[in-house]
């Protein structure tokens, strides 16, 4: 079933006014199309549905066993769609405003230990040829900066080629942020660039794909990381670009960083997103109290 014209206008607004990515637009389109199909079977449509019909749709998702996070995303899509219609004067109400939210667990971010990151870097350095150079550069840059994989693979060929201490990144929603660079990340980028350039012009992308005119794909980079994990003796299922981003954040907090600074480094628009790492912060603060509070019980022998 095709998405109704009002839904198409909503998607155009997301792209034009909010800079929504192609993946985000595709997710919204799929959510609205699924709801439209359900509503059509009930003799109504997205444009005319009431709260009862939308509640029945969400209940159907629950009965079908869809994950709570998927249910929550579709509820959010509907709420934003009807808010758009309300603001455009296409409806006098938002029938999704009072829909009950599914109960979400708070999964802890998966991250590696510092020793496991060291093992990955050692394994990458043992890899031969360009794959090894790509693996080292990717690991060094991701772990030193916390970049999203899309941000990493979009880096131009000349990235990290100067002595600049900071890297300017344009992330989600077109938001720009500055990220400190490590010497190891800069050196790894230089070694990769030298191997790619040869005697000709430098590469268009720091991480080119099979077609040097295009960036390496996410899938290709993820496969490279799996190979490194295998060489390092780690379960490849535990490693992904996002796990390295979580590791960057978790290790920073464990060593004294604060949530506000971490929010800026990760490019989160809302501090609530960064708060998934509070378990790391809580553990650090507990150790701080145990070590320095005068009433803390000492574990040392007098």
Catalytic residue IDs: 148, 172, 242, 245, 268, 277
Residues 6 or more apart whose Cβ sits within 8 Å of residue 249: 109, 111, 146, 262, 265, 266, 274, 277, 280
Bin 43: left if φ > 0, else alpha if -120 < ψ < 50, else beta. left
Q: How far apart are CA 16 and CA 173, in angstroms?
A: 11
> Within 13 Å, how many C-alpha atoms sit on residue 182's CB side?
14
């Amino acid at each position: 079933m095709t998405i109704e014209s009002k839904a198409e206008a909503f998607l155009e607004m997301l792209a034009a006014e909010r800079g929504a990515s192609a993946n985000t637009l595709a997710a919204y389109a799929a959510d609205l199309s699924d709801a439209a199909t359900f509503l059509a079977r009930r003799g109504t449509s997205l444009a005319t549905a009431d709260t009862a019909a939308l509640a029945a749709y969400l209940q159907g998702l629950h009965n079908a066993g869809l994950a709570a996070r998927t249910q929550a995303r579709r509820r959010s899509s509907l709420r934003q769609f009807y808010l758009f219609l309300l603001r455009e004067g296409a409806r006098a109400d938002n029938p999704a405003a009072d829909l009950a939210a599914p109960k979400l667990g708070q999964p802890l971010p998966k991250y590696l230990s510092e020793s496991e990151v060291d093992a990955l870097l050692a394994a990458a350095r043992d890899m031969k040829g360009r794959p090894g150079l790509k693996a080292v550069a990717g690991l060094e840059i991701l772990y030193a900066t916390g970049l999203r994989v899309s941000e990493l693979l979009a880096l131009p060929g000349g990235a990290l080629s100067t002595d600049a201490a900071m890297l300017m990144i344009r992330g989600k929603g077109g938001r720009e942020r500055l990220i400190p660079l490590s010497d190891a990340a800069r050196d790894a980028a230089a070694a990769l660039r030298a191997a790619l350039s040869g005697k000709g012009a430098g590469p268009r992308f720091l991480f080119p794909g099979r077609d040097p005119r295009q960036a390496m794909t996410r899938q290709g980079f993820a496969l490279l990381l799996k190979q490194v994990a295998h060489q390092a003796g780690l379960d490849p299922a535990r490693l992904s670009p996002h796990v390295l981003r979580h590791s960057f954040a978790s290790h920073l907090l464990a060593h004294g960083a604060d949530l506000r600074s971490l929010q800026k480094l990760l490019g989160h628009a809302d501090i609530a997103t960064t708060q998934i790492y509070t378990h790391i912060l809580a553990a650090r603060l507990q150790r701080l109290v145990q070590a320095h509070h005068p009433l803390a019980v000492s574990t040392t022998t007098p």
